[in-house]
Amino acid sequence: MEKQQIIDELKMLLDGDPWHAASLKETLNGISGERAALRLPGTHSIWELAGHIAGWNNVWAERLRGNPVSEPADGNFPEEKVVAEVAWQGLQTRLADSFANLISGIELHSESEFAERFEDNDYTLSFFLHGAVRHNVHHAAQIALLKSATAKHETAAA
């Protein structure tokens, strides 16, 4: 039951109707690559946050498969060197794929494993996965705030 609840939460966060806000796909809808790459003072860009979410989802998926991956291949908050719409669309695809990858990693584990220690840590698989959900919600909220802030910034610059 807990396993399915976590899977459902991840699916809703990406492309469903989560109770707390719009889904990630809905939030990202209408954001151009240029706007996604815009960094306001003291913040990460939407682009960096989307890459961060995707990267960590893939790290956790690998760990669920027993592979000792400690950090995303592209770095913690990857920056895009060349801002192009095709690259931004590609990142959004990788973001969606990372959720599917994480969910498929979760599906490898039985419900009974959720109460067991995960890897060699002092926490359970359940604790680990709830942390992954919270991480995604946290950064999705940051993206939503930046979407609003960059809209105001673009209006002021026009």
Q: What is the pLDDT of residue 152?
A: 73
pLDDT digits (tens, 9 = 90+) for 26-71: 999 999 999 999 999 999 999 999 999 999 999 999 999 999 999 9
Alpha helices in the chain (DSSP H): 2-15, 24-28, 33-37, 46-64, 85-107, 125-157
From the options 3.20.20.120, 1.20.120.450, 3.40.50.300, 3.30.565.10, give the CATH code of 2-157: 1.20.120.450
DSSP-derived secondary structure for 121-147: SSSBHHHHHHHHHHHHHHHHHHHHHHH
Whole-prediction pTM: 0.93
pLDDT digits (tens, 9 = 90+) for 115-125: 999 998 999 99
pLDDT digits (tens, 9 = 90+) for 61-99: 999 999 999 999 999 999 888 889 999 999 999 999 999
**Neighbour-count burial of 158, counting CB atoms closer than 10 A to its CB (0-12 exposed, 13-18 middle, 19+ buried):** exposed
Q: What is the pLDDT of residue 154?
A: 57
Q: What is the pLDDT of residue 153?
A: 60
Q: What is the dihedral of CA 53, 20, 150, 74, to 10 degrees?
A: 0
